[in-house]
Amino acid sequence: MTRLFAVLATLVILLALAALMVGPADAGLAASLRALLGEGGPLVLVMQEIRLPRMMLGLMIGASLGLSGAALQGYLRNPLAEPGLIGISSSAALGAVIAIQTGLAAAFALALPLMALAFALLAVVILLALSGTRRGDTLTLILAGIAISATSGALTQLVLNLSPNPFATSEIVFWLMGSLADRSMTHVALAAPFMGLGFLLMAGLGRSLDALTLGEDAAESMGVNLTRLRLRVVIGTACVVGAGTAVAGAIGFIGLVVPHLLRPFTGHRPGPLLWASALGGAAMLLAADVAVRVTLPDRDLKLGVLTALVGAPFFLHLIWRNRRARA
């Protein structure tokens, strides 16, 4: 377990450095790092204002997706769960789309993430009202999440459908693909408190999720408060996913694939999988963000497109391998 931690942490550090190195402004490792600390003319601006926030967002959002994916899978005891399941990311996206369509986003730069956060909050209120805090009722939680996702998706389509402005439409479509390009420290500052709260809520759930391996009755008899566990998973996921979607758009597959990939290395125990997935998610998102910059530097390949493009076949491969292992 210590080895897994060391490997993942090293990977995250290397990829974070790589994310700082890659970009149109060609600079060596030493020069870049010096610029990050404020020495070296124009490169300082590039490092501090462009690459550093991009790397930090990649780290934060990747870790969020990995952690919340592992927490949801552990809570629902279902490896198919992913952070998008409870409808927060699609409602945050709807908020952002409305901000773009109404011109609010153009008038005031932070209108987009703020609208997205407001819609994420609204969604979590509806979700908790619908699915309640009743212990043991995971099915209602999933169904309520699907209903919220479907409604938000339909409303997003409606906005696109009725949009009189083709520029806004194309901006919406591109925004929905998810990207870390051109984000600033303001975006980092906006997302950080919500993500911090989400991490606080979810990071300590390991033992409860481990106990839940035996089912809800046995877990409760071992001292797990099921109502509190449910609230922490739902609100924690809403915080990190809402904030992530607000600043970077919808980035799929990381929250689903990373816990899957790492589960065998933690002995299939949902508790240790939490931190492993957080590190793994950060590594995977940083790698994907480096990849979009390296493979098609001139075409602005969207991060969400790449994660889905690589994630989906990879997921198929995992299913194939698991199927063979089970047979």
Instruction: Identify which of residues 162 and 325 has a Cβ nearer to another protein in the complex.
Output: 325
**Residue 215 binds another protein, judged by CB under 8 A:** yes
Task: Please give the Cα distance from 268 to 319 (Å, whole number).
Answer: 16
First-to-last C-alpha distance (Å) of the chain: 28
Instruction: Identify which of residues 62 and 206 has a Cβ nearer to another protein in the complex.
Output: 206
Instruction: Identify which of residues 215 and 313 has a Cβ nearer to another protein in the complex.
Output: 215
Task: Please give the Cα distance from 93 to 96 (Å, whole number).
Answer: 5
**Residue 182 binds another protein, judged by CB under 8 A:** no
**Residue 225 binds another protein, judged by CB under 8 A:** yes
Alpha carbon distances (Å) from 47 to 63, 82, 156, 184: 22, 33, 35, 11
Task: Please give the Cα distance from 43 to 21 (Å, whole number).
Answer: 11
**Residue 163 binds another protein, judged by CB under 8 A:** no
Ranges within 103-132 binding another protein (CB under 8 A): none
For tokens 């033992």, what's the residue? 207
Closest by CA position to 52, among listed 68, 38, 64: 38
Residues 6+ apart with CB under 8 A from 267: none
Instruction: Identify which of residues 295 and 322 has a Cβ nearer to another protein in the complex.
Output: 322
Instruction: Identify which of residues 50 and 318 has a Cβ nearer to another protein in the complex.
Output: 318
The distance of closest approach from Cβ of residue 225 to another protein in the complex, given in angstroms and rounded to an integer, is: 6
**Residue 222 binds another protein, judged by CB under 8 A:** yes
Ranges within 41-80 binding another protein (CB under 8 A): 77
Ranges within 251-270 binding another protein (CB under 8 A): 263, 267-270
Q: Which stretch binds another protein (CB under 8 A): 52-60, 180-188, 203-211, 308-316?
A: 203-211
Instruction: Identify which of residues 34 and 207 has a Cβ nearer to another protein in the complex.
Output: 207
Amino acid symbol at 20: L
Instruction: Identify which of residues 280 and 304 has a Cβ nearer to another protein in the complex.
Output: 280
The distance of closest approach from Cβ of residue 263 to another protein in the complex, given in angstroms and rounded to an integer, is: 8
Closest by CA position to 239, among listed 124, 113, 74: 124
The distance of closest approach from Cβ of residue 146 to another protein in the complex, given in angstroms and rounded to an integer, is: 21
> What region, left, alpha or beta, does residue 163 occupy, with left being phi > 0 and alpha being psi -120 to 50 degrees?
beta
Binding another protein (rule: CB under 8 A), the pick from 154, 214, 294, 296 is: 214
Alpha carbon distances (Å) from 96 to 122, 190, 324: 13, 15, 42
Binding another protein (rule: CB under 8 A), the pick from 46, 57, 112, 212 is: 212
Instruction: Identify which of residues 39 and 217 has a Cβ nearer to another protein in the complex.
Output: 217
Instruction: Identify which of residues 3 and 326 has a Cβ nearer to another protein in the complex.
Output: 326
The distance of closest approach from Cβ of residue 239 to another protein in the complex, given in angstroms and rounded to an integer, is: 25
The stretches of 163-269 forming alpha helices (DSSP H) are 166-176, 185-203, 206-211, 216-221, 226-248, 254-262
The distance of closest approach from Cβ of residue 69 to another protein in the complex, given in angstroms and rounded to an integer, is: 15
- Residue 281 contacts residue 254 (beta carbons within 8 Å): yes
Burial label for 53, CB within 10 Å (0-12, 13-18, 19+), is: buried
Q: How many residues bind another protein (CB under 8 A)?
A: 21
**Residue 207 binds another protein, judged by CB under 8 A:** yes
Q: Where on the chain is the footprint of another protein (CB under 8 A)?
A: 77, 207, 210-215, 217-218, 220-225, 263, 267-270
